[in-house]
Structure 1
Amino acid sequence: MSIAPYIKEIGRGKDGARPLTADQAEDLMGQILDGNVTDLEIGAFCLAMRIKGETAEELKGFVNATIARCLTLVDCAQAAKAGIVVLPSYNGARKLPNLTALLAQALARQGVSVLVHGPMQDPTRVTTAQVFQAANMPIATSAEDVQRAWESGQPAFMATDVLCPPLAKLLAVRWTIGLRNPGHTVAKLLDPFAAGRVPSMRVVNHTHPEYAHSLTDFLALTQANALLMRGTEGEPVADARRQPKFDVFLGGQRQAELSRATQEGVLTSLPQLPETSSPDDTARYIASIASGQTALPESIGAQASCLVAALQAISS
């Protein structure tokens, strides 16, 4: 079946394009992920959506289609005693050290089960997977691996091509056309445990302030549990130098008492950070914090505390 009718609606330019309903978006994304369309149609879809931008309804449909094609991880939840935090990690480090693995470890040390998902490699950046590997933290290739990591009190990393192979294929289109596509937004919204019985929180991060509005609309529409923030170079971890704004959503509603404001004022000191952004230096830095030789940056500690408090609020 062709997706040409959908492309006709979304491909009329920024002002002429028409938004799809959630059901239409789910059907469209489902056909793409199932490989029922041509490469030319996929390219047209990516470019049309890049120009138009996604609505909350479209994101809902795209995410629903993707979740339906993800590896089933429901059984892992039995190992989650204090709730689950999902950290979608898709940007990596370019200038600053990638400390998503540090946040994952900080949460795990408080009894939280953490799943990080993202690409294994990026030709232009240091990925969280590379930091996990350098730090000898668990890389999961199955649901059983995730459960074993959680039972041992460790966070788990799962590559996108394991969690959802067709999504990984869509993300790879970027290296052909040179642009990100809706798959990248969907990846940052994926929580495989959202519909389960065990409380879960996802960290949803954005790089540009205008995306905060569309993501807020999505969280409200889908009644999601999430921490929305401006990420560090697009990673779901607070900037180690200064705490960003944390907006906590439970059931799609912003919780003022759980949210936190941006750290204001002039910085008078900086935390100790890795010497470089390399995986090895970042892994050594994480180990030094685990051993107590180096202090956990306050902003990352605050983010971990915020997520733990949100999980407790869901459970109460």
Structure 2
Amino acid sequence: MSIAAYIKIIGRGKDGARSLGIDEARDLFEQVLDAKVSDLEIGAFCLAMRIKGESVEELDGFVQATHARCIDLSEATAAAPKGIVVLPSYNGARKLPNLTALLALELARQGVGVLVHGPSVDPTRVTTGQVFEAASLPIVRDASELAAAWQAGQPAFMDIADLCPAMDKLLAVRWTIGLRNPGHSVAKLLDPFTLSHGHLPSVRVVNHTHPEYAHSLRAYLQHAHANAMLMRGTEGEPVADARRQPKCDIFIRGEHDEALSLSPVEGVLTTLPDLPTSHTAADTAQYIAQVRAGVQPLPPAIQAQAQALVQALARVAATATA
């Protein structure tokens, strides 16, 4: 098979290219994920989309194709009666401690099933998977291991290579061409519990690194009738900046919920949390242990984020039964 016809449409530069429809985008991404096309075509697709940017319809088709290739996690849902929060974690820490695991632990403490997915290793960053390992938190590979973690009241991390091997291969193209590709946008939108699990509430945290992405992601969440928190992540991670509360917009079935959303902290900060000066996995895990033991306080921004997500789950459940 070939995706040359699609590349001809999306590859005419920023001004000459046009966007694909949902069905076209899904077909293209299915061929890419299933490796039915050549490496040269995959590289051309990645570069063309990098220049053009993804439309809402293209994101929809891409996400549909990817969800269909995620492993089945339905077995685990019975272990999360209060609902599920999905934390896509794909950037890792570069300068600040990566506290995604701390958010996951706070949510789990409140009885929520938490799945963090992303790469275990990034040669340029400290990943959430590495923090989970250093903190001796569950790293799971399938639904039964995920259920066991939730039954124990723990959050779980799953490598994208286990959740969706085809997506893992597409993400790895970055290390060949030197640029991120549409796979990175799609991975941050993955909630494998959205498809066929009845009324079980799930909410995903969708984060962005640059303000311009907020507009396209907001449009996608509205288009997809998604349950989500949209925010500017801490170095691209789905956790609030412990130093300053960011804006966090809650969407319930694609509708913005002003009452549940969090406003950003403005002005000059008078106090800062006592964060570790090192961002290594070991030092981050040690800090998280201190917070869990009560030696260090939970940063208010992360506490507020967790509470907003718990409230969003309750709202999703209420709307499902209404």
TM value normalised by structure 2: 0.97
1:304 is aligned to 306
Q: Does 1:166 pair with 2:155? A: no
2:110 is aligned to 110
The code of the aligned residue for 2:317 comes to S
Q: Which runs of 4+ in 1 moved over 4 A?
A: none
Q: How does 1:138-287 map to 2 (within 5 A)?
A: 138-195=138-195, 196-197=197-198, 198-287=200-289
**Alpha-carbon separation, structure 1, partners of 2:277 and 2:211:** 30
**Alpha-carbon separation, structure 1, partners of 2:285 and 2:297:** 15
1:299 is displaced (CA, Å) by 0.2
Task: State the Cα deviation string for residues 219-243 of structure 1 (Å, max 9, x = none).
Answer: 0111000000000000000000000
Task: State the Cα deviation string for residues 90-116 of structure 1 (Å, max 9, x = none).
Answer: 000000000000000010000000000
The code of the aligned residue for 1:306 comes to A
Task: State the Cα deviation string for residues 200-250 of structure 1 (Å, max 9, x = none).
Answer: 000000000010000011001110000000000000000000000010000
Q: Secondary structure at the match of 2:259?
A: coil
The code of the aligned residue for 2:270 comes to T
Task: State the Cα deviation string for residues 158-212 of structure 1 (Å, max 9, x = none).
Answer: 0000000010000000000000000000000000001222100000000000100
1:81 is displaced (CA, Å) by 1.7
The code of the aligned residue for 2:306 comes to A
| CA RMSD, Structure 1 to Structure 2 (Å) | 0.6
2:70 is aligned to 70
1:143 is displaced (CA, Å) by 1.1
Q: How does 1:92-103 map to 2 (within 5 A)?
A: 92-103=92-103
Q: Secondary structure at the match of 1:98?
A: coil
**Alpha-carbon separation, structure 1, partners of 2:144 and 2:102:** 23
Listed as ranges, the gaps of 5+ residues in structure 2 are none
1:134 is displaced (CA, Å) by 0.2
1:269 is displaced (CA, Å) by 0.6
Task: Give the % identical residues.
Answer: 66
Q: Secondary structure at the match of 2:94?
A: coil
Q: How does 1:3-18 map to 2 (within 5 A)?
A: 3-18=3-18
1:292 is aligned to 294
1:275 is displaced (CA, Å) by 3.2
The code of the aligned residue for 2:288 comes to I
Listed as ranges, the gaps of 5+ residues in structure 1 are none
Q: Secondary structure at the match of 2:43?
A: helix
The code of the aligned residue for 1:269 comes to T
Q: Secondary structure at the match of 1:256?
A: strand
Task: State the Cα deviation string for residues 278-309 of structure 1 (Å, max 9, x = none).
Answer: 11111011111111111000000000000000
The code of the aligned residue for 1:20 comes to L
**Alpha-carbon separation, structure 2, partners of 1:246 and 1:267:** 19
TM value normalised by structure 1: 0.99
1:125 is aligned to 125
**Alpha-carbon separation, structure 2, partners of 1:274 and 1:70:** 36
**Alpha-carbon separation, structure 2, partners of 1:46 and 1:175:** 12
**Alpha-carbon separation, structure 2, partners of 1:111 and 1:233:** 27
1:2 is displaced (CA, Å) by 0.3
The code of the aligned residue for 2:190 comes to L
Q: Secondary structure at the match of 2:54?
A: coil
**Alpha-carbon separation, structure 1, partners of 2:215 and 2:259:** 20
**Alpha-carbon separation, structure 2, partners of 1:112 and 1:145:** 16
1:272 is displaced (CA, Å) by 1.3
Task: State the Cα deviation string for residues 58-86 of structure 1 (Å, max 9, x = none).
Answer: 00000000000001111211111211000
Q: Secondary structure at the match of 1:248?
A: strand
Q: Secondary structure at the match of 1:26?
A: helix
